[in-house]
Structure 1
Amino acid sequence: MPSLRFVVKALSTEGVPPSEFARTMAPHPLMYQELPHDPEYQLYNDRLTPVRFADVTADEMYWKVRREVILRHTGELPIEFVGPDIDREAVGDRILEVGRSFGMIITSAQVFRARRIEAGLLNAGSDFDRTVTPFEAGFGGFVDFDKNDFIGKAALERADCACRTWGLRTEGGIAQLGRAICRDGAPVGRVSSTAWSPFLQCGVAIVRMDGLADGPGTQLDVESYDGIMLRGELCTLPMYDPDRLIPRGRLIDIPDQ
């Protein structure tokens, strides 16, 4: 059988007999904005996310984000529209209408995921959860034991301070989510976020290792989405820009390709 990929397509149910397979999960409220672009959806971390649009390539979307969006947290208050009385479609349409004059386009989740992984921005719920300490997630520098007692302080004082969360580069393919990192055929870590990087020209991932001995520079076998084994190497996060000059606005020499 040739190599195949399977996607979810949004099709009209008008005039079609009811089917138990009509919809697998509720759509995002602004998904209608994607429909004119003939989107393809796939499941990622149990979420239905767009991966392709008919009128823009994955590379074009990635470079739009890579050149024009700075991923950072500056402490500003976000603007969020919530509540049953909010006309979400009107708000979303207005944002797109104004944004077009600035070159705004709709991009798929996968290009933001690739950029997030490159930048070392962890996603709560997948890259870390309540079972992971700040040290294991690489957040040890934010733990201030000089503060007065806080929830979890006593447990953290007893915890190992070593990091178990790293980046992963794979050549020739994308790592499978889950227990896909192996040594001598035995799983030794978990892939929690994964994507393809058009900038680095390799698969990129955020992983959490079982043991403390595996760190940057360690080479391991990684199962891919195609079912083949790839060679991967652990690396530090972020994967480039180690001084974090890009999110601080100090590095603006962003490559064209």
Structure 2
Amino acid sequence: MFKQIQPVEFVVMPVASTGGASEFRQSMTPHPLVYQELPHEPHFGIYNGRLRSLFYAKADMETLYWQLRRQVMMSHTGELPTEIRGPDAERMLNRVFTRDVSKVRVGRCSYQIACYPDGGTVMDGVLMRLDEDRFWYVQSDGEFYGWLRAQAEGYNVEVFQPGIWVSQVQGPRSLDVLNAVADDGLPERFRYFDIAHIHIDGQPVVITRTGFTNELGWEFYLEPGADVFAIGERIMEAGNVYNMLTTPAEVTNARRIEGGLLFAGTDFDDTVTPFEAGFGAMVDLNKGDFVGREALLKADPRQRTWGLTCATGTPRHGDGLAQNAQAAGRVTSAAWSPTLECGIGIIRLNNPELSPGAELEVLCTDGAMHPAAVCELPFYDKAGDIPRGRATLETPAVVA
């Protein structure tokens, strides 16, 4: 049985699928393809000031999960793109982010994090280099736009929100769907973290080989002026061959936890350094100055964020970790994993000396403490073969 995650990552807001549709359109900001979700009676939450479906009243979550893992699913997200363009765009972004932006070639994406001067982690997201002096930064949930604009002072650069919406098509048949919907078929070169410019039903569309599920997949970006209905309907039509449906956060949340993908504001915040969050490989202290570098040079480099497995229950979000009856840390995200057939979580430990293999107890959704074990992230597919298209669910060596 699929265990429902606790909706800690959103403010839950039920919305009716009939009369409520027109009502929330007047007061909230829904994804332009939200109509594709309404037959499932979605319950919505706020993500970057946008509506994002949390779960469906008329859908079996485990069925949707296995459809994602075995076939293909589409998800309409609340990710928020910001455009940075101008002669100083690269130089300004190098000041903001902890990795060297000059190494990101045109047509490529890069996972980038930003810090405050004290070394606390502000935001994570995907930086897309569309041209030498034009970028999109697609952030996860949280306040970052104002900070980014403030950092632009003194640079010959524009920072603005272009009004783009992001959806993702994920799963082992996702590239088959792309081949069917792209007017000219699959892009000739479309590697993991590549950007491509295609046409769908005659409409120009930017796509990337990225996603928030750790499955093979791609994301598409709906710009102002595009015929959103034509694009959305064409993709859904092609996906029908594989029984593709839309999927809510509850399903993608379970998969992103399995994949070790952290959620901003939940798995880390501005009180956590990149090292504590497990982002150490994303920090290049030798690239030159950036916001937070001086603090990170003096920071404890030890990691405190890990995975947790529990064979007998689903961990509860919060300060429910213990070792030898003493508080040991916090569960920051949790779900039931149908693939591993156990409860899983992302945790932040109080003691940086604890590491994978440590035995703990965790408070679970049944209100009782259960034995659990600390493990590395991701929980399986540690080489990232699945999103790179080198392995599938059925590959015997993938799950370990």
> CA 1:12/1:100 → structure 2, altered by over 3 Å: closer, same or farther?
closer
Aligned equivalent of 2:70: 67
Higher percent of residues as strand? 2
1:255, distance to aligned residue in structure 2 (A): 6.2
Counterpart check, 1:81 vs 2:222: yes
* Residue-by-residue CA offset, 1:9-49 (whole Å, 9 max, x unaligned): 544786xxxxxxx9xx957434443231244x48799x874
Amino acid aligned to 1:123: F
Whether the aligned pair in 2 keeps the contact of 1:67 and 1:255 (CA below 8 Å) is: no
1:53, distance to aligned residue in structure 2 (A): 4.7
Distance 2:347 2:387 in 1: 22
1:233, distance to aligned residue in structure 2 (A): 1.0
Misfit runs of 4+, over 6 Å:
5-8, 42-45
Within a 5 Å distance, the mapping from 1:1-257 to structure 2 comes to 10-11=15-16, 26=28, 28-29=30-31, 30-39=33-42, 41=43, 49-54=53-58, 56-68=59-71, 69=171, 74-77=192-195, 78=208, 79-83=220-224, 91-252=231-392, 254=394
> CA 1:180/1:44 → structure 2, altered by over 3 Å: closer, same or farther?
farther
Distance 1:219 1:180 in 2: 14
Q: Percent identity?
A: 40
Q: Which moved more, 1:219-228 or 1:231-240?
A: 219-228
Whether the aligned pair in 1 keeps the contact of 2:15 and 2:44 (CA below 8 Å) is: no
1:165, distance to aligned residue in structure 2 (A): 0.7
1:100, distance to aligned residue in structure 2 (A): 1.7
Distance 1:44 1:236 in 2: 30
Distance 1:233 1:193 in 2: 15
Residue aligned with 2:276, SS: coil
Whether the aligned pair in 2 keeps the contact of 1:10 and 1:35 (CA below 8 Å) is: no
Q: Cα RMSD (Å) of the superposition?
A: 3.7
Q: Give the TM-score normalised by the residue count of structure 2.
A: 0.52
Q: Which runs of 5+ in 1 are unaligned?
A: 15-21
Q: Which moved more, 1:185-194 or 1:247-256?
A: 247-256
Q: Which moved more, 1:156-165 or 1:227-236?
A: 227-236
How many correspondences in the alignment?
243
Whether the aligned pair in 1 keeps the contact of 2:316 and 2:363 (CA below 8 Å) is: yes
Aligned equivalent of 2:215: none
* Residue-by-residue CA offset, 1:144-183 (whole Å, 9 max, x unaligned): 2222222222111111111111011112321111212123
Amino acid aligned to 1:62: Y
Distance 1:244 1:194 in 2: 21
Q: Give the TM-score normalised by the residue count of structure 1.
A: 0.77
1:198, distance to aligned residue in structure 2 (A): 0.6
Distance 1:60 1:229 in 2: 29
Distance 1:86 1:178 in 2: 42
Whether the aligned pair in 2 keeps the contact of 1:118 and 1:240 (CA below 8 Å) is: yes
Whether the aligned pair in 2 keeps the contact of 1:61 and 1:108 (CA below 8 Å) is: no
Distance 1:58 1:31 in 2: 18
1:195, distance to aligned residue in structure 2 (A): 1.0
